[in-house]
Amino acid sequence: MRLSRFFLPVLKETPSDAQIVSHQLMLRAGMIKQNGAGIYSWLPLGLRVLRKIEKIVREEQNRAGAIEVLMPTIQPAELWQESGRYDAYGKEMLRIQDRHDREMLYGPTNEEMITDLFRSYVRSYKQMPLNLYHIQWKFRDEIRPRFGVMRGREFLMKDAYSFDIDEESARKSYYKMFCAYLNTFSRLGLKAIPMRADTGPIGGDLSHEFIILAETGESAVFCDADLVNMAAPGPELDFESDLLPEVEKRTQYYAATEEMHDEARFLSEVPEERRLSARGIEVGHIFYFGDKYSKAMKAVVNGPDGKEVAVQMGSYGIGVSRLVGGIIEACHDEKGVIWPKEIAPFDCAVVNLRAGDDDCDAACEQAYERLINAGFDPLYDDTDDRPGAKLSKLELIGIPSAIVIGPRGLKNGVVELRNRKTGATEEISLDAALNKLTAGV
């Protein structure tokens, strides 16, 4: 993408109403624009990151055997009256009346709707286990939306729902999602720690939050330091195998958010040198809640013995738009964002320090084309901004690596190869720089 044909409205000043660094950087880097309290437009740079995260989340859901559907944002109130949550949900639910005065709502989550979908089609245990997910915008009418996309009102969530004939099978479905989440966050460049969690208004008896560590995290977390660097199961994991060992490998360690923290257990179970007390951000939450919804909404199937049984359910959420903010909280410095490679809005950049200079233009065009032909998605800064402004912009938006081409270097046969994360720069030939970049060095 040529920057001259892109839309990247970076801001010079930090907006005064943005309290946390991810919100500040997203506004400054031209990733989002606020349209109302807790409601944002995704500008081209932000949308690229959002879509990359969404893609990884989707791929890992598919790999774990979940099947994608797409439920609407607007739901009829009747479903929530059946489950009993229509009154219980309170003011966070955005309630709507249509032109015929029918009561509707903007879905804050989809347990009811998916249970209705399930009961419309599934009659037999033979059609299970079944895990359906969607990636759709939700709305929660937070009383004080803040922190940008970290706590917005309209937000993008991946929510999966599992249906099983009995608890044993349901636990297996839970373990699948547990492992899929470890792989998802690992691919996003994050170290996410599963922590036993309160089930809250969803209900149920088994639940884990996935927490990433960040100094600016919203809540205190306490865990065994050995958990932090434990590698994810990886893409070779067979989701049809017994996944309990993978789960227990982690749940055997102490890990708890503030709400669930038990100081006495922490002190007794975790050796002093491994006691990690830090700040964390929730990026995923999984629940097993049995027949809470299936009973209320009569989602029953015929079991192997021919008798009707209410299905066992779980739900599994990842805050896709929230992750954009969460990742920035975990990956930035004073100059701007430092994107993990897999989700960077552009793989790399080519910076023309003197657009209009024949030699610079030719070298940049060559670099740009070779990168595209090698399958990369580069940003080419072909504008006539000042060199200093170009380089700061590049640091602000956090592109992992860049080839910087100027007239002085070209005279000596060199360009500058820059690494955003390490800050390393080296002066080498354009060929050498391109070879290094395309080799992923």
* Residue 334 Cβ vs a second copy, minimum distance, rounded to whole Å: 25
Pick between residue 68 and residue 426 the one whose CB is nearest to a second copy. 68
Among 63, 76, 166, 302, which residue interacts with a second copy (rule: CB under 8 A)?
76
Closest Cα partner for 58 from 133, 112, 164? 133
204 binds a second copy (CB under 8 A): no
Integer Cα distance of 250 and 186 in angstroms: 15
7 binds a second copy (CB under 8 A): yes
9 binds a second copy (CB under 8 A): yes
Both tokens assigned to 395: 């640091």
44 binds a second copy (CB under 8 A): yes
Q: Interface with a second copy by CB under 8 A: which range of 27-35, 302-310, 363-371, 393-401? A: 27-35
40 binds a second copy (CB under 8 A): yes
Among 82, 84, 89, 104, which residue interacts with a second copy (rule: CB under 8 A)?
104
Stated length of the chain: 441
Both tokens assigned to 238: 């067979």
380 binds a second copy (CB under 8 A): no
Beta partners for 74? 106
65 binds a second copy (CB under 8 A): yes
* Residue 116 Cβ vs a second copy, minimum distance, rounded to whole Å: 8
68 binds a second copy (CB under 8 A): yes
Residue 106 one-letter amino acid: Y
113 binds a second copy (CB under 8 A): yes
14 binds a second copy (CB under 8 A): no
Place of tokens 């739900």: 315
* Residue 113 Cβ vs a second copy, minimum distance, rounded to whole Å: 7
Question: How far is residue 106 from each of residues 81, 113, 144, 291, measured CA to CA in Å?
Answer: 15, 12, 18, 24
Q: How many CA atoms lie within 13 A of 329 on its CB side?
A: 26
Q: How many CA atoms lie within 13 A of 244 on its CB side?
A: 6
* Residue 247 Cβ vs a second copy, minimum distance, rounded to whole Å: 22
203 within 8 A of 84, measured Cβ to Cβ: no
Among 27, 28, 42, 256, which residue interacts with a second copy (rule: CB under 8 A)?
42
149 within 8 A of 25, measured Cβ to Cβ: no
